[in-house]
Every structure is written in structure tokens, then in C-alpha cells.
Structure 1
Amino acid sequence: GKPLASSVKSVANKTRADATANLFDVVQRLINKCYRNEIRVDAIGIGAPSPLDKEKGMIYSPFGLSDWRDFAIGEITEKRFGLPVFIVNDGDGAAFGMKCFGKCRDISSFISLYFDEGIGAGIILKDEIYSGSFGYSGEISYALLKSFCDEPIDNSSLSLDTIVSALNSELGENLGSIDDFLCKGSVFSRRMASVIGRVGDELGRIAALVSNIFGPEAVVVNGKLLDFGDVFFEALRTSFESSLFSGDQVRLLAGNNDQFEAFSTGAASYAIFSYLMSKALTD
């Protein structure tokens, strides 16, 4: 479970052509790094938005990415690099990586929630990924009540951008990112804490809702909002525990602040497992 090499490229992958070119660039960089360090590459793992088909390596119709419909990313990547390719929903893969190598190694059933660029979940039940019939279980953004925001917003848009907008409205500022508010935390502490507390309260109820449906041993919270520390997490915890059907039986854990690191290492973890399973079955 130790990362041997990494490569990051921040881009907008709105079109299929851009997504393919950027993916190939990152994979090639990693293969080159491995080659220089005498590391053999046996497989490629891709974390992608749902709905998708893991067996076919196909992304079907992710929201907001119309050009990705019926995107055979597994097949074209395998042809390009001549290596087996394994595709998994990004949130599912991150949860699987946490099960294989992270703080959930000893937990059989848990839900890993991501509150970052978007809002979603990965679900592990009895040590296996639960993806649902069409590969998109855990799309929890549609369950949100949006009580922290004064103006109604579209179901699909609750994200860091929405929270930045709410913070700017509350503070009378025009800052561009969550990091800007984190840097000015001491200046805006009281009023900013009010907004972040409402966000934590909202997301805590959603965490409890998902927990009440699946009945896991633990819920793991991940994403950039963890950088707000106790202001966010304790508000989330209070709301979560007060809304649980099971009282205090379900543990609430803080996970990875960087969702993209979690997604990429999760995809790699899934590829390792899938490759070894395929080898075992064929050998």
C-alpha cells in the first residue's frame, strides 16, 4: 500500500478527447518514473464518475459530462499501453483503498463519504464494494436538504463552490476558494464558523441517513472541509449522532483531506486486487 510514484495534472476534462489525452499523459509520466526506478508496471487502475460498467471498462453518462456518454475508457487505455486496465467508480475505489491499506483495514462494513468538489460516497459491505445495479450507489447529493443556504440551489450543485458562495454572502467578501477563507480564518472566525457549522450540521444528517439505510460499523468523512477542523467536524458529529437510529454504535472517523489523492490511490488499490485475482484465476 505504499505509493511509489505520483503525478498530478489539474485540468478540466469536459470533452472525451481532453479526458483521454490528459489520462494518457499522466499514465505515461508514471510509467516513465517506474521505468527509471526499475519498477515493473503490471496493470492500470482508473477511478471515474458513474454510472459505469467495471467489467466492460465503460463510462455511461456521468452528470455534467455529456461528451462522455458510452466512453470506452478501459478499452482505449488498454490498447494504448498494452496493459490490463481496471476501472472503478472513484468513490468506491477510494473506499476500497481504505479497506486494503488505510484505517478501515479491520472494519468489515463502512461508508466513506466525500465532501469536496462534489458530494458522494463509497460503500464497503462485508469486505466488498457495493456499487448497486448500475455502478452508482452512494450518489448522496440528491438527498441534501440544503438548509445552510438561503437561496434554493439545484440538486447537482452542492459543492465547495456553493459553500464558497455562502461564505462570501455571509461575510460580504468576494474570495475565490475555500483555501482563501482558511487563510483568513482568524479574521472571519466567528461568522465563518457559523456557516461552516451549518454545513456540518446538514452533512451530519445526511451521513446519519446513509448510515441508517446501510447499517455500517463506521462512517468515514473525507474532503477539503476537514481543513476547517473542529468547527466543521464537531458540528457534523453532533448532528450525526443525534440523527442515528443505532445510538452510538456507529463510529464516525475523519479520513483523507485530499479527495483526489484518495481517488487515485483507491483506483491503484483496486487495480492491484483485480490484477492479482485475474492471475489467480487464470493460473
Structure 2
Amino acid sequence: MTALGQLDPIAVRRAVEAALAEDLGRAGDVTTAATIPADARARLVIAARQPGRLAGLPLAEAAFAALAPAIRFVAEKGDGDALAPGDVIARIEGPARPALSAERTALNFLGHLSGVATATASFADLIAHTRAKICCTRKTTPGLRVFEKYAVRCGGGANHRFGLDDAILIKDNHIAVAGSIAAALDGAKAYAGHLVKIEIEVDTLDQLDQVLAHGAADVVLLDNMGPDVLREAVARVAGRLVTEASGNVSLETVKAIAESGVDLISVGRITHSAPTLDLGLDVAVG
């Protein structure tokens, strides 16, 4: 599995605080305040209700800790782990009021990010026999990109750039406005520092030949090409550039795309269309 890395604790705290503020509103959790004694304690369990891949534990734990540092959060699973229905993910014990108030925020993060990890794993598992890696795009939920990209890694995928400042990615509109592939690459080469990679999108083999002849690119994005054309493109590149396939990648097509020999396959739907994984929090019995 791809290394998960560590989520920035400052980013985690800010995201959790914003989510809790949105949920608690001006008056706080009036239901819990009205029905639960102030000194009540609770033992709760977060469990999977469907199979999938886990992601988002740091945010779930932070949601409880933000309302009551005294709450004990014990993870039974780790981010990146496979889940089966009924698997216990974490046990929570402590003051009942803040534990119940944090429940939805914790589950929202955990369910959404586990959904992203699960979607990623469904693609990655299909191409495990090839050299290709599934990678994400910038098609992410505003404000959640760093967490969704973390979830992609939990699902066995790889990250594309995090933002517009990560690398130069010349798309078809850039080429159209610049006037030509050569003009766009000339500008990129003159602008880029020695640590900045240059990627360029092509949608025909003729455009690929122009990129190869120019020599400035590090990565070529092969957009909306069928497996046979991708195979020819990989042969022409012959290892001189990193090759990335994109465009309408689905579970039905990803295997053939990977078997063409490309290095990366970018899939927007693993972040922008991933269903939430069904997880539940219940009072522990026994």
C-alpha cells in the first residue's frame, strides 16, 4: 500500500472546529442538553455497516477531543485497513453530552473519507497486476482537498498535484491560448524552477510527437485515448516521460487502460463522486 503520511494536526483542528461550529450553531446541542444529565457517561462504538476501506480516524478522534479532552478514543482499526460489516472501528468512553454532540461531525468525516478510500481501492485492486497507479485530481470538495487526497492514499492510490502551485500542467486551453504546443512548452521551460515538473496534455499521437520532439516535458497526459492508442503512445515515449492516462475512466475500462503500459491513471470520480461509506455509532452493550 502507498505510504499514508501524516495529516497536518493544524489542518485537522481547523477543519474539525469549523464543522463543529456549523453543527452546534448559536445555542449548542439543545437535544442532548435537554435529555442527558450533565454528569452522565457513555460508552460508544463506531462500527462498519458495509465493506470498504477506512480513512479519516484523526478527524473523528479530533471531533470528540475538541468538545471534551477527557473523552477516551481507542481505535480498533487503522486508516487504510479493509472493513467488513460489523467490524469495530473505534471505542469511545467519557462524558456523554460532548460525546453525543460530536457524533455526527466525527461520522461525517469518517464516512466521507472512507468512501473516497473505498472508491480508490475498487480501482486500484483491478490494476494491481500492472505497473500503473490510480491517482486523484483537483476535483475535490472545497476545503477538504488535503483530507480527500489522504483518503486516496488510504485506498492504495497516489496523489496528483495538491494545487495550482505544485507543478506546471499545460492543458488544451493553455495550448490554444499560447498558440501551439511548442509555444506553451517554451514558456513553461523559461518559467519553471529546477524543482518544478512540467506536464502537458495531448489527445492525439501527432501532438505527442510534438511534445517528444520539443524535449521540455517531464510528464505527458494522454487524454481520452483508447487502449490501442495508449499502447502506441507508451511505445513512442519509450520511457523518456512519465505517462498518465485520463478521461472517462471507469471500473469497466480501467484494467485495459492499465494494461496499455501507462504509469498513472487519473480518476476524478474517486473524490468527486465517491459514495459515503455506511458507518454507525451506537451505545456499547455489555
Fold-level match, TM-score > 0.5?
no
**Larger % of strand: which?**
2
Greater RCO between the two (CA within 8 Å, min separation 6)?
2
- Larger Rg over CA atoms: 2
